[in-house]
């Protein structure tokens, strides 16, 4: 897999335009007016190009995946990512991870993003949760996505903040299981386990710090236990 940072934005335009026309990641791309769709796609393209460094992963001289990355003080912010081969899951994620590793080898920062997709967003979140072995999605208001540096069969967080009701969980390791997404509901609840006991975690706020991320929210079980808790994500 060959990774290249693009200098000429026209190198990315054809693939970007084709992806947006087919996938329609934003509702404005579903307009009944062809002219409005084309103008909106071009506007998004120009904005992303102006704000980000654009990388492409190539295999056998074929473009596989693009990442639009904005380097922030403490982390890399992926503003947009798309694959030209979305049905080829193996190639798609090999390309994505290759680009991330390439960028991180230069600035040593972890990756974050938010769910920007507005068209079929629930299906997209389920797809990410099923296939992306590095990603973890939180149900804060921005629907923050974070990536581990390597693939994880079991994703883990650490309890670093509690109140009186949850202090027995301090410093415990949290195993992340699945994201439950229900159609029509903006928030999604994360199912986690601590010492093999299942809980639901409702994330409220994500703080992106240098080298780590803090996730504040509410934890509950299937009985009467409800408490505030803070989890630490270390890539």
**Same domain for 7 and 103?**
yes
Cβ within 8 Å of residue 68, ≥6 positions away: 48, 49, 51, 52, 53, 54, 78, 79, 80, 81
- 208 found inside a domain: yes
Count up the domains in the chain and report the number: 2
- 51 found inside a domain: yes
**Same domain for 95 and 161?**
no
Cα separation values, 21 from 38, 58, 212, Å: 9, 22, 36
CATH number, domain with residue 10: 3.40.630.30
- 218 found inside a domain: yes
Digit-by-digit pLDDT tens for the chain (235 residues) are 999 999 999 999 999 999 999 989 888 888 888 899 999 999 999 999 999 999 999 999 999 999 999 999 999 999 999 999 988 999 999 999 999 999 999 899 999 998 888 777 778 888 887 888 888 887 677 788 889 888 876 778 899 999 999 999 999 998 875 544 443 344 455 788 899 898 988 888 888 888 888 988 889 988 889 999 999 988 8
Distance CA 126, CA 133 (A): 13
> Which of 53, 88, 109 is where one domain is finished?
109
pTM of this structure: 0.82
**Same domain for 89 and 176?**
no
Give the burial string for 180-214 (b: 16+ CB within 10 Å, else e): ebeeeeeebbbebebeeeebbbbbeebebeeebbe
**Same domain for 91 and 161?**
no
- 166 found inside a domain: yes
- In this predicted structure, what is the pLDDT of residue 182? 41
CB 193 within 8 A of CB 199: yes
- 116 found inside a domain: no
CB 86 within 8 A of CB 15: no
- From first CA to last CA, the distance across the chain in angstroms is 23
> What are residue 218's DSSP bridge partners?
202, 228
**Same domain for 168 and 93?**
no
Distance CA 181, CA 167 (A): 29
**Same domain for 195 and 104?**
no
Structural domain containing residue 222 = 155-233
């Amino acid at each position: 897999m060959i990774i290249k940072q693009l200098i000429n934005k026209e190198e990315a335009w054809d693939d970007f335009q084709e992806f947006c026309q087919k996938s329609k990641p934003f509702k404005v791309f579903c307009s009944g007016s062809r002219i409005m769709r084309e103008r909106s796609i071009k506007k998004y393209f120009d904005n992303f190009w102006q704000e980000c460094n654009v990388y492409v992963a190539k295999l056998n001289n074929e473009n596989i995946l693009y990442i639009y990355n904005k380097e922030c003080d403490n982390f890399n912010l992926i503003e947009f990512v798309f694959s030209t081969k979305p049905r080829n899951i193996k190639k798609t994620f090999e390309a994505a991870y290759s680009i991330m590793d390439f960028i991180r080898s230069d600035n040593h920062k972890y990756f974050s993003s938010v769910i920007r997709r507005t068209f079929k967003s629930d299906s997209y979140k389920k797809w990410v949760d099923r296939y992306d072995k590095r990603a973890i999605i939180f149900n804060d208001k921005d629907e923050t996505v974070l990536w581990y540096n390597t693939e994880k069969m079991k994703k883990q967080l650490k309890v670093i903040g509690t109140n009186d009701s949850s202090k027995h969980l301090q410093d415990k390791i949290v195993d992340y299981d699945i994201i439950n997404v229900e159609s029509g509901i903006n928030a999604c609840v994360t199912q986690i386990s601590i010492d093999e006991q299942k809980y639901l975690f409702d994330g409220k706020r994500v703080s992106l710090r240098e080298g780590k991320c803090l996730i504040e929210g509410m934890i509950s079980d299937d009985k009467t236990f409800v408490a505030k808790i803070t989890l630490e994500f270390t890539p």
